[in-house]
Amino acid sequence: MFRLIDSPLGPLRLQASPRGLSRVEFSGTSTPLEAVGGTDEGGVDKRSADVLDAAQVQLAEYFAGQRRAFELPLDLPETTAFRAAVHAQLAEIGYGETVTYRDVAKMLGRPGATRAVGSACGANPLLIVRPCHRVLRSDGGLGGYAGGVAAKRFLLALEEI
């Protein structure tokens, strides 16, 4: 089940199963949310809708500066062991903190895996919830982000980094 929600960064697409939130991504659509109804819940179980409701509320609180951490059940898609480790490490980066791709590689005991960390961040299915926007290039530059550099800059400013 998925839902499109509005955010200060434009539409976000949330996806959930009965087990938890599985994806937060920039929708890339230019269609106004009102035109598509904002949700696609066609009779799929209530637990998935509850997860989406909670995610929508918590994201709104985050964007309003009232939430620093997310408390949502997650249903992570299958991935490689390395990417799963990177994504788990992202969850450990505190609100208002930044690290570099190299730092994450070192934290994982793989100091030579800087580019692989960058690739894993790029494959992060839970943008914002698993905060890959807090990971910078080794020179302190913003680097890539699924929502673009402007979105990354916005999120970092929101957290006053």
| Residues with a known catalytic role | 132
41 and 99: one domain? no
For strand 39-40 and strand 20-26, is the pairing parallel, antiparallel, or unpaired? unpaired
Q: Give the pLDDT score at 118.
A: 95
58 and 90: one domain? no
Number of independent structural domains in the chain: 2
Residue 95 resides in a domain:
yes
CATH number of the domain bearing residue 138? 1.10.10.10
Task: Give the least confident one: 21-25, 69-73, 121-125, 142-146.
Answer: 142-146
96 and 152: one domain? yes
99 and 127: one domain? yes
57 and 94: one domain? no
Q: Give the pLDDT score at 78.
A: 92
Residue 71 resides in a domain:
no
Cβ contact 24:129 at 8 Å: yes
For strand 135-136 and strand 99-100, is the pairing parallel, antiparallel, or unpaired? parallel
14-29 confidence digits (pLDDT tens): 999 999 999 999 986 4
pTM of the complete model? 0.86
Class of residue 104 by CB neighbours under 10 A (exposed 0-12, middle 13-18, buried 19+): buried
38-94 confidence digits (pLDDT tens): 444 454 589 999 999 999 999 999 999 999 999 999 999 899 999 999 999 999 999
137 and 102: one domain? yes
Q: Which domain holds residue 49?
A: 2-63
116 and 59: one domain? no
Q: Give the pLDDT score at 161.
A: 66
Cβ contact 116:125 at 8 Å: no
Residue 69 resides in a domain:
no
Residue 79, CB-side half-sphere exposure with 13 Å CA sphere: 20
7 and 35: one domain? yes
85 and 153: one domain? yes
55 and 24: one domain? yes
86 and 152: one domain? yes
Residue 74 resides in a domain:
no
56 and 110: one domain? no
Residue 86 resides in a domain:
yes
Cβ contact 20:71 at 8 Å: no
